Amino acid sequence: MHELGILSSLVHTIEKIVTEEGLTEVEKIVIEVGELSGIVPRYIEQCYPAAVYKTFMEKTALELVTVPGIVKCRDCGLVFNAAANDLRCPDCSGQNLEILEGNDMIVKELVCR
């Protein structure tokens, strides 16, 4: 599954940060998931226990924050929420959209000891 692979690589990423910063334990991670990232937050939650199983993050809590997908219509310039408008410009019905925000998945915070 898509989300499991993403989480496994995320564990790697965090492991690197933890080593670099000389930390020992990660209590919680805060992750931002964009609505246009193609990643389903519900799946992330479901896969999380499997992805951290037998890693240094086994006891680390997960907090997910959803970031709205904001796009700009290339035809008329309107900026709007993509999901709420079904990926179509509410003014001119244009579908040629530029993503401004919400197409990424970001490790936002680590709460550590």
Q: Does 4 bind other proteins (CB under 8 A)?
A: yes
**20 phi and psi angles, rounded to 5 deg:** -60, -40
Least Å distance between CB 59 and other proteins? 15
Whose tokens are 């219509």? That residue is: 73
Judged by DSSP in three states, 107 sits in strand
Residue 19 binds other proteins (CB under 8 A): no
Per partner kind, with CB cut-offs from 5 to 8 A, the member of other proteins, Zn ion, none near residue 59 is none
- 71 belongs to the binding site for Zn ion (CB under 5 A): no
H or E segment and range at residue 80? strand 79-81
- The string of DSSP letters for 7-52 reads HHHHHHHHHHHHHHHT---EEEEEEEEETTSS--HHHHHHHHHHHH
* Residue 44 engages Zn ion in binding (rule: CB under 5 A): no
Q: Which residues form the interface with other proteins (CB under 8 A)?
A: 1-2, 4-6, 9-10, 12-13, 17, 21, 23, 27, 37-38, 104-113
Q: Which residues form the interface with Zn ion (CB under 5 A)?
A: 73, 75-76, 78, 89, 91-92, 94
